[in-house]
């Protein structure tokens, strides 16, 4: 049975989430982009706003339709909430006696960060971003050492997915097998239909937590026609996808292409600004920083870092990856090759953010294709 939630009842869903202790986070317009922030009511969702994305280009325009999720993904991925940009890992209290030799306080106690993790309801998570969350689950939760900061936020999160009905021009989730339909990993999933004066959501539950919430929301059974409209919209999104990558054989191809001339060409354009890694929903690399005050207290803080910075690979004497070429190569080879060996899947979910937000309009799908095509050229196509 497919059930249906009227647009006007969306606030009741948000209220049900709040009653359960979740802070709803969803898309909203800020600084001429779709970002993610706390949703006070369904009216703060970006009604009518659609994005136009291209390599190095992002514009919002108002379509005039009341559709709430007509946009695609913006620069802010959900990792901002589950894997925040800065997390305090521990604090140190100084044990009297003043600063020690070499300026280090003699610590008396080191305690883990004691802040209670927030509980978020993430509203409007797209299929690509669900796949990204699944990838970060593997990175942070399925290895020998579990990341506690991620774990506490992740366990407490409620996920309301939205199936994409309008792909962006930089999207390529159909080719990475991660969208546009959200297959799993959500508590609830919505298909928005806004047509002929009707505005409703088809609702699926994907977990017992999702199931448990449904009685609190006014739902009714959807008619076959109503279902059909939703299905058609998602299917159409897959067909209209702007970009694609061919993953077949890509891992081995990249592993044997470390010296490919394409890296030099791309490096000549790449600014090593790290935008791609900041907007990427799976990039997980961090730096540890020490923050101190004059009373001898210190905190150990972990913040997002990027393989595009010089400090990232610094060891005594210099950076291992001193050239931009080696940094771009590290990023791309990691995404499509090393990630598979490390975690069993690629590190790319086809969201297209790195393409849109690259100030030099470098397109990861084009880079992959260039290396693939040159291989065909070298080995012939006989």
Partner 1 sequence: METLESLLAEHEFFRGLTREDIVLFTECASNVRFETGAYIFREGQPADQFFAVRHGRVALEVYVPGRGGVAIQTVGPGEVLGWSWMLPPYRWHFDARVLEQTRVLAFDATCIRDKCETDHRLGYELMKRLAHVFTQRLEASRLQLLDIYGRAG
Partner 2 sequence: MAALAERQAVPLLDPRIPRLLQIRRVRRETRDTWTLDLIGSDAGEPFAPGQFAMLYAPGVGEVPISISGDPASPEVITHTVRAVGPTTRALCGLRAGDVLGWRGPYGHPWPLEAVPSGADVVIVAGGIGLAPLRPAVLRVLADRARFRRIALLYGARTPGELLFRRDLERWRSRLDTEVEITVDAGDAGWRGNVGVVTTLIPPAKFDPARAVALVCGPEVMMRFTVGDLRKRGLPPERIFLSLERNMHCGVGLCGRCQFGPRFICREGPVFSYAEVERHFTIREV
**Minimum CB distance to partner 2, residue 382 (Å):** 28
Q: Which does 107 bind (CB under 5 to 8 A by kind): partner 1, partner 2, none?
A: partner 2
Please choose, from the candidates 303, 243, 279, the residue with its C-alpha nearest in 3D space to the C-alpha of residue 359.
279
88 sits near partner 2 (criterion: CB under 8 A): no
- Residue 2 to residue 58: CA distance in whole angstroms: 35
Closer residue to partner 1, CB minimum distance, 120 or 312 = 312
CA angle 194, 196, 201 (to 5 degrees): 30
Number of residues written out for the chain = 382
Q: Which does 147 bind (CB under 5 to 8 A by kind): partner 2, partner 1, none?
A: partner 2
Supply the DSSP string of 54-87, one letter for each residue: ETTEEEEEE-SS--SS-S---S--THHHHS-SEE
Q: Which does 94 bind (CB under 5 to 8 A by kind): partner 2, partner 1, none?
A: partner 2
Q: Which does 183 bind (CB under 5 to 8 A by kind): partner 1, partner 2, none?
A: none
197 sits near partner 1 (criterion: CB under 8 A): no
Q: Which segments of 206-362 are extended strands (E)?
A: 220-221, 286-292, 298-304, 314-315, 318-319
Query: How many beta carbons lie within 10 A of that of residue 86, not counting itself?
Result: 11
Scanning residues 315 to 374, which ones bind partner 2 (CB under 8 A)?
315-316, 320-323, 325-326, 330, 333-334, 337-338, 340-342
Report residue 7: phi and psi, to 5°.
-50, -40
Closer residue to partner 1, CB minimum distance, 316 or 379 = 316
311 sits near partner 1 (criterion: CB under 8 A): no
145 sits near partner 2 (criterion: CB under 8 A): yes
**Minimum CB distance to partner 1, residue 354 (Å):** 33
317 sits near partner 1 (criterion: CB under 8 A): yes
- Residue 257 to residue 251: CA distance in whole angstroms: 10
- Residue 46 to residue 37: CA distance in whole angstroms: 11
Binding mask 216-255 for partner 2 (x = CB under 8 A): ---------------------------------------x
- Residue 354 to residue 238: CA distance in whole angstroms: 20
C-alpha distances in angstroms, 313 versus 320, 339, 343, 358, 371? 5, 18, 21, 22, 25
Binding site for partner 2 (CB under 8 A): 89-90, 92, 94-95, 100-112, 139-140, 143-145, 147-148, 255, 258-259, 284-288, 290, 292, 296, 298, 300, 302, 305, 307, 311-316, 320-323, 325-326, 330, 333-334, 337-338, 340-342
Binding site for partner 1 (CB under 8 A): 315-317
């Amino acid at each position: 049975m497919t059930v249906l939630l009227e647009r006007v009842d969306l606030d009741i869903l948000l209220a049900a989430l709040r009653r359960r202790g979740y802070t709803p986070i969803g898309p909203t317009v800020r600084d001429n982009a779709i970002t993610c922030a706390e949703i006070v009511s369904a009216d703060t969702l970006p009604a009518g706003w659609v994005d136009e994305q291209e390599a190095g280009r992002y514009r919002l325009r108002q379509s005039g339709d009341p559709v709430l999720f007509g946009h695609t993904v913006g620069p802010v991925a959900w990792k901002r909430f589950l894997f925040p940009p800065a997390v305090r890992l521990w604090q140190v209290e100084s044990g009297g006696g003043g600063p020690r030799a070499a300026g280090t306080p003699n610590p008396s106690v080191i305690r883990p960060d004691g802040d209670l993790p927030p509980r978020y309801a993430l509203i409007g998570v797209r299929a690509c971003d669900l796949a990204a969350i699944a990838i970060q689950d593997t990175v942070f939760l399925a290895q020998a050492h579990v990341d506690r900061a991620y774990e506490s936020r992740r366990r407490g999160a409620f996920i309301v997915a939205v199936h994409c009905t309008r792909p962006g021009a930089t999207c390529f989730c159909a080719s990475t097998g991660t969208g546009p339909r959200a297959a799993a990993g959500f508590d609830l999933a919505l298909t928005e239909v806004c047509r002929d004066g009707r505005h409703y959501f088809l609702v699926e539950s994907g977990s017992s937590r999702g199931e448990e919430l449904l009685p609190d929301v006014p739902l009714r059974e959807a008619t076959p026609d109503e279902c059909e409209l939703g299905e058609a919209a998602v299917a159409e999104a897959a067909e209209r996808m702007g970009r694609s990558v061919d993953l077949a054989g890509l891992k081995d191809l990249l592993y044997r292409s470390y010296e490919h001339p394409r890296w030099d060409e791309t490096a000549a354009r790449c600014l090593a600004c790290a935008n791609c890694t900041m907007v990427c929903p799976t990039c997980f690399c961090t730096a540890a920083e020490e923050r101190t005050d004059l009373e001898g207290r210190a905190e150990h803080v972990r913040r997002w870092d990027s393989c595009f910075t010089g400090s990232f690979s610094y060891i005594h004497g210099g950076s291992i990856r001193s050239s931009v070429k080696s940094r771009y190569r590290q990023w791309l080879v990691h995404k499509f090759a090393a990630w598979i060996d490390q975690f069993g899947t690629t590190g790319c979910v086809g969201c297209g953010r790195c393409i849109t937000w690259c100030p030099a309009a470098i397109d990861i799908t084009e880079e992959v294709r260039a290396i693939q095509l040159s291989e065909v050229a070298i080995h012939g196509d006989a």
